[in-house]
Structure 1
Amino acid sequence: MAEIRAPGKPRILCLHGFRTSAAILETQIRKWPESILEKLDLVFLDAPYPSTGKSSVEGIFDPPYYEWLQFQVHQDHTEYQNYEECIAYIEDFMVQNGPFDGLLGFSQGASVCATLPGMQEEGVALTKVPKIKFVIIISGAKAGGAKYSAPKLAANAFAAPIKCPSLHFIGEKDFQKTEGLALIDSFVDPLVIHHPKAHTVPRLDDQSVKIAQNFVEKILNLATT
Protein backbone atom coordinates (compact mmCIF):
# COMPACT_ATOMS: atom_id res chain seq x y z
CA MET A 1 0.00 0.00 0.00
CA ALA A 2 1.36 3.41 -0.98
CA GLU A 3 2.14 5.85 1.78
CA ILE A 4 0.01 8.97 2.15
CA ARG A 5 1.62 11.85 0.30
CA ALA A 6 2.28 14.99 2.35
CA PRO A 7 0.29 17.77 0.64
CA GLY A 8 2.33 20.56 -0.89
CA LYS A 9 5.69 18.92 -0.21
CA PRO A 10 8.03 17.47 -2.84
CA ARG A 11 8.16 13.69 -2.31
CA ILE A 12 11.79 12.55 -2.43
CA LEU A 13 13.13 8.99 -2.57
CA CYS A 14 16.38 8.81 -0.58
CA LEU A 15 19.08 6.23 -1.36
CA HIS A 16 21.74 5.54 1.27
CA GLY A 17 25.46 4.90 0.89
CA PHE A 18 27.43 1.69 0.36
CA ARG A 19 27.03 -0.81 3.19
CA THR A 20 24.85 1.46 5.30
CA SER A 21 21.04 1.63 5.49
CA ALA A 22 17.93 3.76 5.13
CA ALA A 23 17.86 4.32 8.89
CA ILE A 24 21.47 5.54 8.88
CA LEU A 25 20.89 8.02 6.05
CA GLU A 26 17.76 9.29 7.78
CA THR A 27 19.78 9.90 10.96
CA GLN A 28 22.37 11.83 8.93
CA ILE A 29 19.84 13.92 7.01
CA ARG A 30 17.83 14.76 10.14
CA LYS A 31 20.79 16.86 11.32
CA TRP A 32 19.81 19.46 8.74
CA PRO A 33 17.77 22.46 9.95
CA GLU A 34 14.06 21.98 10.40
CA SER A 35 13.51 25.01 8.17
CA ILE A 36 14.69 22.79 5.29
CA LEU A 37 13.29 19.43 6.38
CA GLU A 38 9.78 20.65 7.15
CA LYS A 39 9.26 21.47 3.48
CA LEU A 40 10.22 18.02 2.19
CA ASP A 41 8.50 14.62 2.19
CA LEU A 42 11.47 12.26 2.54
CA VAL A 43 11.15 8.50 2.03
CA PHE A 44 14.16 6.30 2.84
CA LEU A 45 14.71 2.95 1.11
CA ASP A 46 17.04 0.08 2.07
CA ALA A 47 19.12 -1.28 -0.81
CA PRO A 48 18.18 -4.77 -2.06
CA TYR A 49 21.39 -6.58 -1.13
CA PRO A 50 22.74 -7.32 2.36
CA SER A 51 26.31 -6.13 2.87
CA THR A 52 28.87 -8.58 1.52
CA GLY A 53 31.77 -7.17 3.50
CA LYS A 54 32.83 -4.87 6.30
CA SER A 55 31.00 -1.57 6.61
CA SER A 56 32.92 1.66 7.16
CA VAL A 57 30.30 2.70 9.71
CA GLU A 58 30.64 -0.32 12.00
CA GLY A 59 30.95 0.91 15.58
CA ILE A 60 29.26 4.19 14.62
CA PHE A 61 25.88 2.99 13.39
CA ASP A 62 24.20 -0.31 14.16
CA PRO A 63 23.60 -2.98 11.50
CA PRO A 64 22.05 -4.30 9.36
CA TYR A 65 23.90 -2.81 6.40
CA TYR A 66 22.97 -2.97 2.72
CA GLU A 67 24.49 -2.21 -0.68
CA TRP A 68 22.90 -1.19 -3.96
CA LEU A 69 25.49 -2.81 -6.17
CA GLN A 70 28.24 -5.34 -5.86
CA PHE A 71 31.40 -4.47 -7.72
CA GLN A 72 34.70 -5.88 -8.87
CA VAL A 73 37.88 -3.83 -9.11
CA HIS A 74 40.04 -4.41 -12.18
CA GLN A 75 43.31 -2.45 -11.99
CA ASP A 76 42.14 1.19 -11.70
CA HIS A 77 38.56 0.63 -12.82
CA THR A 78 35.49 -0.58 -11.00
CA GLU A 79 32.82 -2.69 -12.66
CA TYR A 80 29.34 -2.95 -11.14
CA GLN A 81 27.23 -6.08 -10.92
CA ASN A 82 23.45 -6.46 -10.52
CA TYR A 83 22.86 -2.98 -11.92
CA GLU A 84 19.72 -3.78 -13.92
CA GLU A 85 18.22 -5.67 -10.97
CA CYS A 86 18.97 -2.73 -8.68
CA ILE A 87 17.27 -0.23 -10.98
CA ALA A 88 14.24 -2.51 -11.33
CA TYR A 89 14.03 -2.76 -7.53
CA ILE A 90 14.04 1.05 -7.20
CA GLU A 91 11.43 1.47 -9.92
CA ASP A 92 9.16 -1.14 -8.33
CA PHE A 93 9.32 0.74 -5.03
CA MET A 94 8.55 4.02 -6.80
CA VAL A 95 5.51 2.46 -8.50
CA GLN A 96 4.16 1.10 -5.23
CA ASN A 97 4.96 4.11 -3.01
CA GLY A 98 4.94 7.10 -5.34
CA PRO A 99 4.56 9.27 -7.12
CA PHE A 100 7.96 10.77 -6.33
CA ASP A 101 9.06 14.21 -7.48
CA GLY A 102 12.80 13.73 -7.06
CA LEU A 103 15.69 11.70 -5.74
CA LEU A 104 18.32 12.19 -3.04
CA GLY A 105 21.36 9.99 -2.67
CA PHE A 106 24.56 9.70 -0.67
CA SER A 107 27.74 8.00 -1.93
CA GLN A 108 26.79 4.86 -3.88
CA GLY A 109 23.14 5.88 -3.62
CA ALA A 110 24.04 9.28 -5.09
CA SER A 111 25.89 7.68 -7.98
CA VAL A 112 22.81 5.61 -8.77
CA CYS A 113 20.54 8.67 -8.49
CA ALA A 114 22.70 10.66 -10.86
CA THR A 115 22.29 8.13 -13.69
CA LEU A 116 18.51 7.85 -13.46
CA PRO A 117 17.30 11.10 -15.13
CA GLY A 118 19.36 10.43 -18.25
CA MET A 119 18.33 6.79 -18.36
CA GLN A 120 14.69 7.77 -17.95
CA GLU A 121 15.03 10.33 -20.74
CA GLU A 122 16.51 7.62 -22.97
CA GLY A 123 13.64 5.28 -22.12
CA VAL A 124 15.74 2.47 -20.65
CA ALA A 125 14.76 2.93 -16.97
CA LEU A 126 11.93 4.32 -14.81
CA THR A 127 9.49 3.96 -17.70
CA LYS A 128 6.58 3.19 -15.31
CA VAL A 129 6.86 6.32 -13.17
CA PRO A 130 6.54 10.09 -13.71
CA LYS A 131 9.51 12.09 -14.88
CA ILE A 132 12.15 12.87 -12.27
CA LYS A 133 12.00 16.61 -11.60
CA PHE A 134 15.24 17.06 -9.61
CA VAL A 135 18.10 15.26 -7.86
CA ILE A 136 20.17 15.92 -4.72
CA ILE A 137 23.65 14.38 -4.96
CA ILE A 138 25.80 14.02 -1.81
CA SER A 139 29.35 12.68 -2.34
CA GLY A 140 28.38 11.04 -5.61
CA ALA A 141 30.53 9.76 -8.47
CA LYS A 142 30.01 9.70 -12.21
CA ALA A 143 29.42 6.32 -13.81
CA GLY A 144 31.60 6.24 -16.88
CA GLY A 145 33.95 8.84 -15.41
CA ALA A 146 37.65 8.47 -14.72
CA LYS A 147 37.22 5.94 -11.91
CA TYR A 148 33.96 4.03 -12.35
CA SER A 149 32.81 2.02 -15.35
CA ALA A 150 29.34 2.73 -16.67
CA PRO A 151 27.08 -0.33 -16.53
CA LYS A 152 25.61 -1.25 -19.92
CA LEU A 153 22.17 0.08 -18.99
CA ALA A 154 23.72 3.44 -18.02
CA ALA A 155 26.11 3.70 -20.97
CA ASN A 156 24.32 6.78 -22.31
CA ALA A 157 23.15 8.24 -19.00
CA PHE A 158 25.33 11.33 -19.48
CA ALA A 159 25.42 11.40 -23.28
CA ALA A 160 23.39 14.61 -23.16
CA PRO A 161 23.44 17.25 -20.41
CA ILE A 162 20.95 16.44 -17.64
CA LYS A 163 18.28 19.12 -17.67
CA CYS A 164 16.56 18.63 -14.32
CA PRO A 165 17.66 20.90 -11.44
CA SER A 166 20.32 19.42 -9.19
CA LEU A 167 21.92 20.17 -5.83
CA HIS A 168 25.44 18.80 -5.31
CA PHE A 169 27.42 18.45 -2.08
CA ILE A 170 31.20 18.47 -2.56
CA GLY A 171 33.54 17.75 0.36
CA GLU A 172 37.01 19.27 0.17
CA LYS A 173 38.51 16.13 1.74
CA ASP A 174 36.21 13.64 0.02
CA PHE A 175 37.94 10.86 -1.93
CA GLN A 176 35.06 11.21 -4.41
CA LYS A 177 35.65 14.93 -4.95
CA THR A 178 36.99 14.67 -8.51
CA GLU A 179 34.14 12.42 -9.61
CA GLY A 180 31.63 14.64 -7.81
CA LEU A 181 32.88 17.65 -9.75
CA ALA A 182 32.53 15.66 -12.96
CA LEU A 183 28.88 15.11 -12.12
CA ILE A 184 28.33 18.85 -11.73
CA ASP A 185 29.57 19.35 -15.30
CA SER A 186 26.97 16.81 -16.50
CA PHE A 187 23.99 18.90 -15.32
CA VAL A 188 22.54 21.99 -16.97
CA ASP A 189 21.21 23.70 -13.84
CA PRO A 190 23.38 22.71 -10.84
CA LEU A 191 23.57 24.34 -7.43
CA VAL A 192 26.62 23.41 -5.38
CA ILE A 193 27.33 23.29 -1.65
CA HIS A 194 31.04 23.05 -0.84
CA HIS A 195 31.94 21.88 2.65
CA PRO A 196 35.26 21.23 4.45
CA LYS A 197 34.51 17.63 5.48
CA ALA A 198 35.32 14.30 3.84
CA HIS A 199 32.95 11.56 2.62
CA THR A 200 29.90 12.35 4.73
CA VAL A 201 26.49 13.98 4.86
CA PRO A 202 27.54 17.37 6.22
CA ARG A 203 25.77 19.65 8.61
CA LEU A 204 24.71 22.89 6.95
CA ASP A 205 26.36 26.18 7.88
CA ASP A 206 24.67 29.54 7.25
CA GLN A 207 25.85 29.80 3.64
CA SER A 208 24.88 26.19 2.89
CA VAL A 209 21.43 26.74 4.38
CA LYS A 210 20.87 29.67 2.02
CA ILE A 211 21.85 27.58 -1.02
CA ALA A 212 19.68 24.68 0.17
CA GLN A 213 16.73 27.01 0.76
CA ASN A 214 17.08 28.40 -2.76
CA PHE A 215 16.99 24.88 -4.13
CA VAL A 216 14.00 23.92 -1.98
CA GLU A 217 12.06 26.95 -3.23
CA LYS A 218 12.80 25.88 -6.79
CA ILE A 219 11.61 22.30 -6.27
CA LEU A 220 8.53 23.43 -4.35
CA ASN A 221 7.45 25.19 -7.52
CA LEU A 222 8.21 22.08 -9.58
CA ALA A 223 6.26 19.82 -7.26
CA THR A 224 3.10 21.85 -7.73
CA THR A 225 3.26 21.71 -11.55
Structure 2
Amino acid sequence: MVGNQVQVKKPRVLCLHGFRTSGEILKKMIGKWPDSVLGNFDFDFLDGQYPAKGKSDVESIYDPPYYEWYQVNEIECMHFEECVAHIEDYMIKHGPFDGLLGFSQGGMLASVIPPMQREGTAFTTVPKIKFVIIISGFELRELKSGPPKLLANVYSAPIDCPSIHVIGEKDFLKERNYKLMKSFVNPFLIHHSVGHTVPKLDEKGVETMNKFIEKIQEMFRQELQGGLGLKSAL
Protein backbone atom coordinates (compact mmCIF):
# COMPACT_ATOMS: atom_id res chain seq x y z
CA MET A 1 0.00 0.00 0.00
CA VAL A 2 1.35 3.44 -0.98
CA GLY A 3 -0.22 6.13 1.23
CA ASN A 4 -3.93 5.33 1.04
CA GLN A 5 -3.60 3.72 -2.39
CA VAL A 6 -4.08 -0.06 -2.39
CA GLN A 7 -1.81 -1.80 -4.90
CA VAL A 8 -3.80 -4.13 -7.16
CA LYS A 9 -2.18 -7.21 -8.66
CA LYS A 10 -2.47 -8.07 -12.35
CA PRO A 11 -5.46 -10.36 -12.82
CA ARG A 12 -4.55 -13.84 -14.05
CA VAL A 13 -6.56 -14.70 -17.15
CA LEU A 14 -7.01 -18.15 -18.70
CA CYS A 15 -7.37 -17.84 -22.49
CA LEU A 16 -9.44 -20.29 -24.54
CA HIS A 17 -8.82 -20.42 -28.29
CA GLY A 18 -11.22 -20.91 -31.18
CA PHE A 19 -12.23 -24.07 -33.06
CA ARG A 20 -9.30 -25.83 -34.71
CA THR A 21 -6.73 -23.26 -33.68
CA SER A 22 -4.50 -23.26 -30.57
CA GLY A 23 -3.41 -21.32 -27.53
CA GLU A 24 -0.32 -20.14 -29.39
CA ILE A 25 -2.46 -18.84 -32.25
CA LEU A 26 -4.76 -16.95 -29.87
CA LYS A 27 -1.66 -15.46 -28.21
CA LYS A 28 -0.57 -14.11 -31.61
CA MET A 29 -4.07 -12.85 -32.40
CA ILE A 30 -4.47 -10.77 -29.23
CA GLY A 31 -0.87 -9.61 -29.68
CA LYS A 32 -2.39 -7.02 -32.05
CA TRP A 33 -3.72 -5.18 -29.01
CA PRO A 34 -1.65 -2.35 -27.53
CA ASP A 35 0.60 -2.88 -24.52
CA SER A 36 -1.55 -0.36 -22.64
CA VAL A 37 -4.25 -3.07 -22.64
CA LEU A 38 -2.21 -6.29 -22.57
CA GLY A 39 0.04 -5.02 -19.79
CA ASN A 40 -2.87 -5.02 -17.34
CA PHE A 41 -3.26 -8.81 -17.41
CA ASP A 42 -1.25 -11.96 -16.81
CA PHE A 43 -2.38 -14.31 -19.60
CA ASP A 44 -2.14 -18.11 -19.70
CA PHE A 45 -3.03 -19.98 -22.91
CA LEU A 46 -4.49 -23.49 -22.89
CA ASP A 47 -4.89 -25.90 -25.84
CA GLY A 48 -8.06 -27.90 -26.38
CA GLN A 49 -7.79 -31.57 -25.49
CA TYR A 50 -8.50 -32.92 -28.98
CA PRO A 51 -6.28 -32.56 -32.07
CA ALA A 52 -8.29 -31.04 -34.94
CA LYS A 53 -10.38 -33.69 -36.68
CA GLY A 54 -10.67 -31.76 -39.93
CA LYS A 55 -9.39 -28.79 -41.89
CA SER A 56 -8.62 -25.59 -39.99
CA ASP A 57 -9.84 -22.26 -41.36
CA VAL A 58 -6.53 -20.65 -40.34
CA GLU A 59 -4.18 -23.04 -42.20
CA SER A 60 -3.10 -20.33 -44.65
CA ILE A 61 -2.32 -17.89 -41.83
CA TYR A 62 -1.03 -19.83 -38.81
CA ASP A 63 1.03 -22.99 -38.52
CA PRO A 64 -0.27 -26.17 -36.84
CA PRO A 65 -0.90 -27.91 -34.52
CA TYR A 66 -4.61 -27.15 -34.26
CA TYR A 67 -7.02 -28.25 -31.53
CA GLU A 68 -10.71 -28.33 -30.76
CA TRP A 69 -12.62 -28.36 -27.45
CA TYR A 70 -15.72 -30.34 -28.39
CA GLN A 71 -17.64 -31.37 -31.50
CA VAL A 72 -21.18 -30.37 -32.38
CA ASN A 73 -23.73 -30.97 -35.12
CA GLU A 74 -27.45 -30.23 -35.44
CA ILE A 75 -28.32 -33.23 -33.29
CA GLU A 76 -25.88 -33.29 -30.39
CA CYS A 77 -22.81 -31.83 -28.71
CA MET A 78 -20.10 -34.44 -28.19
CA HIS A 79 -17.32 -34.55 -25.59
CA PHE A 80 -18.51 -31.44 -23.77
CA GLU A 81 -18.11 -33.02 -20.32
CA GLU A 82 -14.56 -34.08 -21.23
CA CYS A 83 -13.84 -30.53 -22.37
CA VAL A 84 -15.07 -29.08 -19.06
CA ALA A 85 -13.02 -31.63 -17.09
CA HIS A 86 -9.91 -30.73 -19.13
CA ILE A 87 -10.27 -27.00 -18.42
CA GLU A 88 -11.15 -27.46 -14.76
CA ASP A 89 -8.18 -29.79 -14.22
CA TYR A 90 -5.86 -27.18 -15.75
CA MET A 91 -7.34 -24.47 -13.53
CA ILE A 92 -6.76 -26.63 -10.44
CA LYS A 93 -3.13 -27.35 -11.39
CA HIS A 94 -2.14 -23.93 -12.75
CA GLY A 95 -4.53 -21.48 -11.10
CA PRO A 96 -5.99 -19.65 -9.43
CA PHE A 97 -7.36 -17.60 -12.32
CA ASP A 98 -9.29 -14.37 -11.88
CA GLY A 99 -10.81 -14.11 -15.34
CA LEU A 100 -11.30 -15.78 -18.69
CA LEU A 101 -10.70 -14.65 -22.27
CA GLY A 102 -12.25 -16.66 -25.07
CA PHE A 103 -12.45 -16.40 -28.84
CA SER A 104 -15.25 -18.04 -30.87
CA GLN A 105 -15.72 -21.59 -29.48
CA GLY A 106 -13.48 -20.54 -26.61
CA GLY A 107 -15.72 -17.50 -26.10
CA MET A 108 -18.73 -19.76 -25.80
CA LEU A 109 -16.88 -21.78 -23.14
CA ALA A 110 -15.69 -18.71 -21.23
CA SER A 111 -19.26 -17.41 -21.12
CA VAL A 112 -20.77 -20.52 -19.53
CA ILE A 113 -18.16 -21.15 -16.81
CA PRO A 114 -19.51 -18.43 -14.43
CA PRO A 115 -23.13 -19.71 -14.64
CA MET A 116 -21.96 -23.32 -14.26
CA GLN A 117 -20.24 -22.18 -11.06
CA ARG A 118 -23.46 -20.43 -10.02
CA GLU A 119 -25.50 -23.58 -10.63
CA GLY A 120 -22.89 -25.81 -8.98
CA THR A 121 -22.66 -28.12 -12.00
CA ALA A 122 -18.93 -27.64 -12.72
CA PHE A 123 -15.86 -25.62 -11.73
CA THR A 124 -16.85 -25.93 -8.08
CA THR A 125 -13.28 -26.87 -7.10
CA VAL A 126 -11.78 -23.56 -8.31
CA PRO A 127 -12.28 -19.93 -7.20
CA LYS A 128 -15.16 -17.96 -8.67
CA ILE A 129 -14.39 -16.32 -12.01
CA LYS A 130 -14.55 -12.56 -11.55
CA PHE A 131 -14.81 -11.37 -15.20
CA VAL A 132 -14.83 -12.54 -18.82
CA ILE A 133 -13.55 -11.13 -22.11
CA ILE A 134 -15.58 -12.61 -24.98
CA ILE A 135 -14.41 -12.20 -28.60
CA SER A 136 -16.85 -13.42 -31.28
CA GLY A 137 -18.52 -15.62 -28.67
CA PHE A 138 -21.93 -17.24 -29.06
CA GLU A 139 -24.55 -19.32 -27.32
CA LEU A 140 -24.40 -23.00 -28.24
CA ARG A 141 -26.91 -23.68 -31.01
CA GLU A 142 -30.19 -25.41 -30.19
CA LEU A 143 -29.77 -29.16 -30.63
CA LYS A 144 -32.36 -31.86 -31.33
CA SER A 145 -31.04 -33.82 -28.36
CA GLY A 146 -31.11 -30.72 -26.14
CA PRO A 147 -28.13 -28.97 -24.53
CA PRO A 148 -25.39 -30.86 -22.69
CA LYS A 149 -26.56 -31.61 -19.13
CA LEU A 150 -23.98 -29.22 -17.68
CA LEU A 151 -25.56 -26.34 -19.64
CA ALA A 152 -29.20 -27.10 -18.85
CA ASN A 153 -29.67 -24.05 -16.60
CA VAL A 154 -26.87 -21.64 -17.55
CA TYR A 155 -29.32 -19.17 -19.10
CA SER A 156 -32.03 -19.61 -16.47
CA ALA A 157 -30.97 -16.28 -14.94
CA PRO A 158 -28.91 -13.31 -16.20
CA ILE A 159 -25.17 -13.94 -15.90
CA ASP A 160 -24.04 -11.50 -13.23
CA CYS A 161 -20.34 -11.46 -14.08
CA PRO A 162 -18.52 -8.39 -15.45
CA SER A 163 -18.07 -8.93 -19.18
CA ILE A 164 -16.82 -7.22 -22.31
CA HIS A 165 -17.86 -8.46 -25.75
CA VAL A 166 -15.92 -7.83 -28.96
CA ILE A 167 -18.27 -8.18 -31.95
CA GLY A 168 -17.59 -7.69 -35.66
CA GLU A 169 -20.01 -6.09 -38.11
CA LYS A 170 -19.11 -8.74 -40.74
CA ASP A 171 -18.98 -11.70 -38.33
CA PHE A 172 -21.11 -14.52 -39.73
CA LEU A 173 -22.13 -15.25 -36.12
CA LYS A 174 -22.90 -11.62 -35.30
CA GLU A 175 -26.53 -12.19 -34.24
CA ARG A 176 -25.50 -15.05 -31.95
CA ASN A 177 -22.72 -12.80 -30.56
CA TYR A 178 -25.34 -10.22 -29.57
CA LYS A 179 -27.71 -12.85 -28.18
CA LEU A 180 -24.95 -14.07 -25.88
CA MET A 181 -24.06 -10.54 -24.80
CA LYS A 182 -27.68 -9.93 -23.77
CA SER A 183 -27.42 -12.87 -21.35
CA PHE A 184 -25.03 -10.81 -19.19
CA VAL A 185 -25.80 -8.06 -16.68
CA ASN A 186 -24.50 -4.62 -17.81
CA PRO A 187 -22.04 -5.88 -20.48
CA PHE A 188 -19.42 -3.69 -22.15
CA LEU A 189 -19.33 -3.75 -25.97
CA ILE A 190 -16.56 -3.16 -28.49
CA HIS A 191 -17.99 -3.11 -32.01
CA HIS A 192 -15.60 -3.35 -34.96
CA SER A 193 -15.93 -3.32 -38.75
CA VAL A 194 -14.41 -6.68 -39.68
CA GLY A 195 -15.46 -10.32 -39.34
CA HIS A 196 -14.97 -13.41 -37.19
CA THR A 197 -11.54 -12.57 -35.86
CA VAL A 198 -9.64 -10.84 -33.09
CA PRO A 199 -9.48 -7.25 -34.39
CA LYS A 200 -6.97 -4.53 -33.76
CA LEU A 201 -8.45 -2.11 -31.27
CA ASP A 202 -9.09 1.38 -32.59
CA GLU A 203 -9.09 4.44 -30.35
CA LYS A 204 -12.70 3.92 -29.29
CA GLY A 205 -12.08 0.22 -28.66
CA VAL A 206 -9.08 0.97 -26.46
CA GLU A 207 -11.12 3.56 -24.55
CA THR A 208 -13.90 1.02 -23.89
CA MET A 209 -11.42 -1.68 -22.89
CA ASN A 210 -9.71 0.72 -20.48
CA LYS A 211 -13.07 1.50 -18.84
CA PHE A 212 -13.62 -2.24 -18.39
CA ILE A 213 -10.12 -2.60 -16.90
CA GLU A 214 -10.84 0.26 -14.51
CA LYS A 215 -13.99 -1.53 -13.36
CA ILE A 216 -12.02 -4.75 -12.75
CA GLN A 217 -9.28 -2.91 -10.89
CA GLU A 218 -11.81 -1.13 -8.69
CA MET A 219 -13.45 -4.46 -7.90
CA PHE A 220 -10.05 -5.88 -6.89
CA ARG A 221 -9.30 -2.80 -4.74
CA GLN A 222 -12.56 -3.20 -2.86
CA GLU A 223 -11.87 -6.90 -2.28
CA LEU A 224 -8.35 -6.14 -1.07
CA GLN A 225 -9.49 -3.32 1.22
CA GLY A 226 -12.18 -5.58 2.61
CA GLY A 227 -9.56 -8.24 3.32
CA LEU A 228 -7.23 -5.73 4.96
CA GLY A 229 -10.11 -4.41 7.09
CA LEU A 230 -10.93 -7.93 8.24
CA LYS A 231 -7.29 -8.60 9.18
CA SER A 232 -7.06 -5.37 11.19
CA ALA A 233 -10.23 -6.28 13.06
CA LEU A 234 -8.89 -9.70 14.12
TM normalised by structure 1 equals 0.91
Identity among equivalent pairs (%): 56
Q: Which structure 1 segments of 5+ residues have no match?
A: 1-6
Q: Which structure 2 segments of 5+ residues have no match?
A: 1-7, 224-234
Structure number with larger C-alpha Rg: 2
Residue pair 1:144, 1:155 contacting (<8 A) in 2 also: no
Match of 1:214? Answer: 211
CA distance in 1, matches of 2:16, 2:147: 19
Q: Does 1:151 align with 2:157?
A: no
Residue pair 2:74, 2:143 contacting (<8 A) in 1 also: no
Match of 2:93? Answer: 96
Match of 2:77? Answer: 80
Count residues with an aligned counterpart: 215
Q: CA RMSD in A?
A: 1.7
Following TM superposition, where does structure 1 have runs of at least 4 consecutive aligned residues deviating by more than 4 angstroms?
144-147
Counterpart AA for 1:163? D
Residue pair 1:143, 1:151 contacting (<8 A) in 2 also: no
CA distance in 2, matches of 1:37, 1:110: 18
Counterpart AA for 2:27? E
SS at match of 1:170: strand
Match of 2:28? Answer: 27
Counterpart AA for 1:198? G
1:144 Cα offset (Å)? 5.3
TM normalised by structure 2 equals 0.88
CA distance in 2, matches of 1:101, 1:142: 22
Match of 1:8? Answer: 9
Match of 1:141? Answer: 138
Name the one with the larger helix percent.
2
Counterpart AA for 2:65? P
* 1:1-225 to 2 correspondences below 5 Å: 8-74=9-75, 79-143=76-140, 150-224=147-221, 225=223
1:221 Cα offset (Å)? 2.7
SS at match of 1:73: coil
CA distance in 2, matches of 1:146, 1:39: 39
1:198 Cα offset (Å)? 0.4
